[in-house]
Amino acid sequence: MTSKIRKFNYLFLITLFLVSFLKTNAQNGAALYQQNCAQCHGADLKGGNATSLIDGIWQFGAEDGYLFRNIKFGIAHLGMPSYEKVLEDTEIREIMKYIRESEKKVGAEKPPIAKMLETLDYDVNVEIFAEGLEVPWAIDFIDATTALITERPGRLRVVTNGKLQTEPVKNIPKVLNEGQGGLLDVAIDPDYYENGWIYLAYSHVLEHIIEGKRPPAMTRLERGKIKNNTWTDSEIIFEAPHETYRTTRHHYGCRIVFDPAGYLYFTIGDRGTSEHAQDFTRPNGKVHRINKDGSIPETNPFIDEEAAIKSIFSLGNRNIQGMAIHPKTGQLWVTEHGPMGGDELNLIKAGKNYGWPVITYGLNYNGTVITDLTHKPGLEQPILYWKPSTAVCGLDYYSGDLFKKWKNKLLVGALKYEEVRLLDIENNRVMHQEIIVKGQGRVRDVSTGPNGAIYVVLNKPGTVLRLTPKTD
């Protein structure tokens, strides 16, 4: 037998093996689905006791990572069992592949944005305020006719009289657009009409690095003004010590709010190094408080600690991406991404430790235990925790007049569950929760506009919604 014939036969056998292997995997996926999933989701995947898997709607996370964890660990409070002890990871992935292929066969597509939503108190009109955005992250309003929207890749967009301007604001600071980093929050100074300041939070990378090494990065804050659609008069108001920068690309935070006294609060996530959240010589895993010009308030809780970063206001916070000031009390409320399970609603107080990673209600994403502790003396308990995680993101106390029954209730967004919840809080207790938006897209931010409408930023599909009550 010649070498050419031997090579042909070898390649032919390999091809047969791969075809057989792929067919077996497809068959395994279908068979495993019928054995484990069909009784609830239907033999044809169109639903039964549980939802359809081929209608383009994913209530509990559309990405493969969410789907995998939902199958492996279940959604116990909704009656979906875990399959961790029944299926191997490879078998779960075969089921996922079968589901995805079935979606493609029927041409499943996510339904269009709803034009009307029903809630307990109102029928709500839904309008598209802005669309065609690339990963929008935050929204704030200069006045009733002008809004600013950040796009994570590093653009600041302007909406004027309901129209998204074609040209982004020029001369915006350079951001590190990798992983979860980029241009994050935007906030308008409470005294904007007197001083014109606008505040940005973004991931900043150090460029003076060793060649071939991944450059370290950290959350940075800057303020400036917009003149002739150009960012001018910029001032860096917070930059962490460069030795504390991290080469990871996730958990940057960052939200910005102002309290009635004029203090500026912002957050930095743990940057993937959880133990730093307990170390007040590190900026990550903290809530920070500064004056609007970047100086440190003399009443900050760690001002007299020689080694501490003086801007720290609280510690033990994993990754806060929702912040709001209560309109009446001036209290600082936050929502914090937990690991798998254990998203938290926290009331932040000066110098308090919120426990991460010493205590948590969550697990690692692979299902392993982070800690057996959910309580420990000296560590704060959340006002509320979500288990499983909804991926809380974006927070605002409703302060307008259009939805009068919702005055001073808390709007809570969620990425994974694609929802906005309305929380009724009395005496620092959550008395009631209602889902008022569901399945329209991944909610990155939610905000009350100056006209009383509610604005919902969806980073997928790159759209901002405007909610108003329906009138007869």
* Residue pLDDT, tens place only, 334-370: 999 999 999 999 999 999 999 999 999 999 999 999 9
State the pLDDT at residue 220. Answer: 98
Please give the tally of structural domains in the chain: 2
**In the predicted structure, residue 19 carries a pLDDT above the cut 50:** no
Residue 392 lies in a domain: yes
For this structure, is 251 an active site residue? yes
Residue type (1 letter), 235: E
Q: Identify the helix (H) or strand (E) that includes residue 104.
A: helix 89-106
* Residue pLDDT, tens place only, 432-463: 999 999 999 999 999 999 999 999 999 989 99
Residue type (1 letter), 339: P
Catalytic residue among 251, 276, 326, 337: 251
CA distance 128 to 461: 11
What CATH number is associated with residue 15?
A: 1.10.760.10
Q: What integer best gives the mean pLDDT of the chain?
A: 93
* Helix count and strand count (H, E) for the chain: 5, 25
State the pLDDT at residue 11. Answer: 53
Residue 216 · residue 205 · CB < 8 Å: yes
DSSP string, 330-355: --EEEEE--SBS-EEEEEE-TT-B--
Residue 111 lies in a domain: no
Give the domain extent around 323. 116-469
107 C-beta neighbours (distance < 10 Å), count: 8
On whether both 432 and 403 belong to a single domain, the answer is yes
On whether both 101 and 120 belong to a single domain, the answer is no
Rg (CA), the chain: 24
Q: 377 by DSSP, 3-state: which? A: coil
**In the predicted structure, residue 10 carries a pLDDT above the cut 60:** no
Q: pTM for the whole thing?
A: 0.91
On whether both 82 and 134 belong to a single domain, the answer is no
What CATH number is associated with residue 270?
A: 2.120.10.30
